[in-house]
């Protein structure tokens, strides 16, 4: 690697030594203005005496991409050279001031006998054995990208709103070129949407996507050369499910939208990470909602937030959307930074309105194009554009934890009063909290189900506030936190029949679904407490499922129970110790109850899900299949697997095949189908990941650890490949009753693998350690075993900084 960098003094900087980051490099030579110099080299970088004015720095270094199992910097993935530089990977390529606020124009020359040589920006001169690239837009080093390999391209073209032609290409390994069309269509849809919705036009002559098999994340937004985990690019009806298609669409959009919210405007330092990630998650959620329906998308986002981010907020890994400190920045690519960061953007938009939001974003792009910005810069454009004071709202970026909003009610002489109070529980390092701005969207219905008060946003800004509605003919039924207007936990004593009423009548998609979840929570709690399930629950749900006017995808979500994680957190909030096996058992009993109670309608719903004709991932077809397969999962509990086996045998697309196999495995059936699946797809690496993952995630609790252990001895288990590792060890973490086996076997098994993985890929090991996140809420037997394994990991000689920080935070 040869680097030539033109430096000039920063007039605002304090005098100090010239320092360049660099790790795992061998310095061959260094020159300043052509003259050899002898820098002082350490494990973290180098220092050197430099001239007082402008100068050109040149360095030649060696590194070893083939030995780079960290998958950071430059590495080799099955014969393909590729890079991953966010957050601090560029320092593993050459010596550089590797900070997000150091921005420069890059010119790159690649010399290789490999046929495809790619980098950021626009292509320049090329010939046998070399290619040159020029990126005219200044960027930080974390956005640098390079790829060299045996690749083929799926090509297309996009014409921007100003009439410029952009050449598009999705680069894949030979043999995968037939699985690129959906990624390309998603890219073009994203480019058009960003023009229509935000007025943002693409700014280079080419846009390249490359699919890489060995990749720690989903994808990376490098300027003009997005590098993707192949699982987030490749799709065909035979090898990808509806969920895969939706995931590819969302990730392609997310990385493309970063071109403006992350690349053209980046973050001043890594504490501002949510400035680009939270905003871009919000933008990709808008995009998906516009394409596939905002009601279903909002529910999906809430389910994910409650299962992942609420757990993070209420455990030892809690941190603000803008972290206050870190040892290893890779450990803060979290659900709090991404998903809660997006929720903060959504609340801001709700408070200032659509017009105010668009005005502020236009000002943001105008004012900060080419900048490394901060959260303060972001909020200031909203204040300047709308005249609103956001000093209290800023607390969402600095205070960790999930707010609890308590609701009390009063009714007298046509006046209905809501008393709202907020509490933000203590979190690590933040024992006391201040009241925040919480937008609480409320609607009121009369006893006939008519809406007498349309959605109104109440701004809760104090510890306790009252809001009054007058002129009502009868006591209303409130629909509170409509559209999941804020990422809060609602605490309210409501009559049991109210949820059934809202499930039947609420005009808000989210809260109608939430009413069904409330009924499910009551049923789960009844089983946990040894009580009978309310017999009225299934009929209430049945009425909603019979409503053909509802989107099939929405009705499918009505059939889903709250997650086991949500149940566990609710118990812990009440001061009760968590028994994962008891929770799993209660959930299974509720599913059996539903299967019996809805037996009359389930066959018809399954039949509705059989879409005729060639496979299509369009929203209508996806919704129908989702409803049919949700019904199938319950039907399989009562028909001995007859319908699931028939669907598996006749399936001509991966969605129906995996749905049938999952339904069988969930009730302890499907061994023959599992073998058939393996035999057919053992040559398709992404499909085989599903085969590994389904067995572990759907194993009965007593068999989960043994299943995972057996699969790690399978000839095709490659523990150094992140996707394959996640398909087994990650799937075990997704089986809470199995992972938290009272014997401690799950803890020992995962700890063994984390110690092994840490020596090869510390980033992945650190992220996977999050499976231990909830150990403190377990009963004493499990808790002591989990603590012992965490202590064993921490005591391992040579533990990486990544994993050491995570385990230290978990132990407290």
- Residues with a catalytic annotation lie at 255
What is the sign of the dihedral through the CA atoms of 770, 776, 778 and 780?
Answer: positive
Q: Determine the 3-state secondary structure of 180 from DSSP.
A: coil
Pairing of β 122-127 and β 130-139? antiparallel
Question: Are the beta carbons of 284 and 219 closer than 8 angstroms?
Answer: no
Q: Phi first, then psi: what are they for 119, rounded to 5°? A: -150, -170
By the 8 A CB rule, do 610 and 652 touch?
Answer: no
For residue 170, the cross-strand partners are 154, 209
Quick one: CA dihedral 374, 379, 383, 386, positive or negative? positive
- For every residue of 29-41, DSSP letters joined together read EEEETTEE---EE
Instruction: Give CA–CA dist 665/700, Å, rounded.
Output: 9
Bridge-based pairing of strands 404-412 and 489-492 is parallel
Task: For the chain, state the CA radius of gyration.
Answer: 27
**Separation in Å, CA 638 to CA 599, 649, 664:** 8, 19, 11
Contact predicate 766/760, CB 8 Å: no
- Token look-up 């360049």 returns 20
> 274: which 2 tokens?
């949510």
Cα pseudo-dihedral 563, 568, 572, 576, rounded to 10:
140
DSSP 8-state symbol, 261? B
**DSSP symbols for 685-724:** HHHHHHHHHHHHHTS-HHHHHHHHHHHTTSTT--TTSHHH
Sheet holding 464-469, edge to edge: 464-469, 415-423, 404-412, 489-492
Residues in Cβ contact with 358 at an 8 Å cutoff, skipping those fewer than 6 apart: none
Neighbour count for residue 709 (Cβ, 10 Å) = 15
CA–CA dist 732, 467 (Å, integer) = 47
**CA angle 541–545–550, rounded 5-degree value:** 125
| Stated length of the chain | 812
User: Cα separation of 702 and 330, whole Å?
Assistant: 34
In degrees, to the nearest 5, what angle opens at C-alpha 320 toward C-alphas 319 and 323? 80
Facing residues of 169 across strands?
155, 208
Greatest Cα-to-Cα distance within the chain, rounded to the nearest angstrom: 89
Strand partners, 206: 167
* C-alpha 647: how far from chain center: 31
Q: How far apart are CA 787 and CA 779, in angstroms?
A: 12
Q: Is 574 exposed, middle or buried (0-12, 13-18, 19+ CB in 10 A)?
A: exposed
- Whether the bond between 87 and the residue before it is cis, its omega within 30 degrees of 0, is yes
């Amino acid at each position: 690697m040869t680097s030539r960098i033109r430096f000039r003094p920063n007039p605002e900087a304090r005098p100090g030594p010239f320092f360049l980051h660099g790790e795992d490099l061998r310095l061959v030579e260094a020159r300043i203005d052509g003259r050899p110099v002898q820098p002082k080299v350490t494990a973290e970088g180098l220092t050197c005496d430099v001239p007082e004015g402008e100068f050109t720095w040149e360095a030649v270094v060696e590194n070893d991409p083939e030995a780079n199992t960290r998958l950071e910097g430059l590495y080799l993935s099955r014969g393909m050279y590729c890079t991953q530089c966010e957050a601090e990977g560029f320092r593993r390529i050459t010596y550089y001031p590797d900070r997000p606020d150091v921005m420069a124009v890059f010119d790159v020359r690649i010399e290789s006998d490999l046929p495809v040589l790619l980098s950021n920006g626009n292509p320049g001169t090329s010939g046998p054995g070399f290619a040159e690239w020029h990126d005219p837009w200044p960027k930080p080093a974390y956005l640098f990208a390079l790829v060299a390999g045996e690749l083929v391209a799926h090509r297309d073209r996009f014409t921007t709103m100003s009439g410029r032609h952009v050449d598009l290409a999705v680069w894949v390994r030979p043999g995968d070129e037939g699985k690129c069309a959906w990624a390309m269509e998603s890219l073009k849809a994203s480019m058009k949407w960003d023009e229509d919705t935000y007025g943002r036009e693409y700014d280079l002559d080419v846009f390249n996507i490359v699919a890489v098999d060995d990749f720690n994340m989903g994808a990376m937004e490098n300027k003009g050369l997005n590098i993707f985990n192949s699982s987030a690019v490749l799709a065909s009806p035979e090898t990808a499910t509806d969920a895969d298609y939706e995931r590819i669409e969302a990730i392609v959009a997310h990385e493309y939208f970063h071109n403006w919210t992350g690349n053209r405007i980046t973050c001043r330092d890594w504490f501002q990470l949510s400035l680009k990630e939270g905003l871009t998650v919000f933008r990709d959620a808008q995009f998906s909602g516009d394409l596939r329906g905002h009601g279903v998308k909002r529910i999906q986002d809430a389910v994910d937030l409650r299962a992942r981010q609420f757990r993070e907020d209420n455990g030892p890994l809690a941190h603000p959307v803008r972290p206050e400190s870190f040892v290893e920045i890779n450990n803060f690519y979290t659900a709090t930074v991404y998903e809660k960061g997006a929720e903060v953007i959504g609340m801001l938009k709700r408070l200032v309105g659509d017009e105010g939001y668009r005005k502020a974003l236009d000002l943001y792009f105008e004012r900060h194009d080419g900048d490394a910005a901060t959260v303060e810069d972001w909020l200031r454009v909203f204040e300047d554009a709308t005249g609103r004071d956001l000093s209290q709202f800023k607390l969402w970026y600095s205070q960790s934890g999930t707010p609890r909003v308590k609701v009390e009610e009063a009714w007298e002489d046509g006046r209905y009063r809501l008393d709202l109070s907020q509490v933000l529980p203590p979190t690590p390092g933040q024992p006391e909290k201040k009241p925040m701005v919480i937008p609480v969207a409320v609607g009121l219905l009369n006893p006939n189900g008519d809406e007498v008060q349309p959605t109104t946003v109440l701004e809760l800004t104090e510890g306790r506030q009252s809001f009054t509605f007058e002129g009502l003919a009868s006591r209303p039924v409130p629909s509170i936190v409509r559209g999941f207007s804020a990422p809060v936990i609602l605490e309210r004593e409501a009559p049991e029949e109210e949820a059934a009423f809202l499930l039947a009548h609420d005009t808000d998609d989210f809260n109608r679904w939430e009413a069904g979840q409330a009924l499910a929570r009551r049923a789960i709690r009844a089983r946990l407490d040894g009580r009978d399930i309310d017999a009225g629950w299934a009929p209430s749900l049945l009425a909603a499922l019979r409503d053909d006017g509802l989107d099939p995808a929405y009705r499918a979500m009505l059939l889903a129970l709250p997650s086991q994680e949500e149940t566990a957190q609710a118990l812990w909030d009440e001061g009760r110790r968590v028994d994962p096996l008891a929770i799993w058992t209660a959930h299974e009993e509720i599913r059996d109850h539903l299967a019996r109670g809805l037996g009359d309608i389930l066959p018809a719903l399954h039949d509705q899900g059989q879409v005729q004709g060639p496979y299509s991932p369009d929203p209508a077809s996806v919704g129908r299949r989702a409803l049919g397969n949700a019904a199938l999962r319950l039907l399989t509990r009562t028909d001995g697997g007859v319908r699931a086996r028939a669907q598996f045998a006749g399936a001509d697309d991966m969605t129906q095949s995996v749905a049938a196999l999952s339904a069988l495995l969930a009730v302890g059936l499907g061994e023959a189908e599992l073998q058939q699946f393996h035999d057919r797809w053992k040559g398709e690496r992404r499909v085989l990941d599903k085969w590994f993952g389904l067995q572990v995630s759907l194993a009965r609790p007593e068999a989960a650890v043994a299943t995972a252990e057996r699969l790690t001895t399978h000839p095709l288990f490659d523990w150094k490949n992140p996707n394959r590792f996640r398909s087994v060890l990650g799937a075990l973490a997704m089986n809470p009753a199995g992972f938290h086996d009272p014997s401690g076997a799950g803890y020992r098994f995962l700890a063994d693998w984390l110690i092994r993985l840490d020596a090869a890929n510390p980033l992945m090991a650190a992220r996977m350690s999050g499976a231990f996140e909830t150990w403190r809420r377990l009963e004493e037997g499990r808790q002591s075993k989990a603590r012992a394994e965490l202590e064993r990991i921490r005591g391992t000689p040579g533990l990486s900084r990544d994993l050491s920080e995570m385990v230290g935070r978990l132990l407290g």
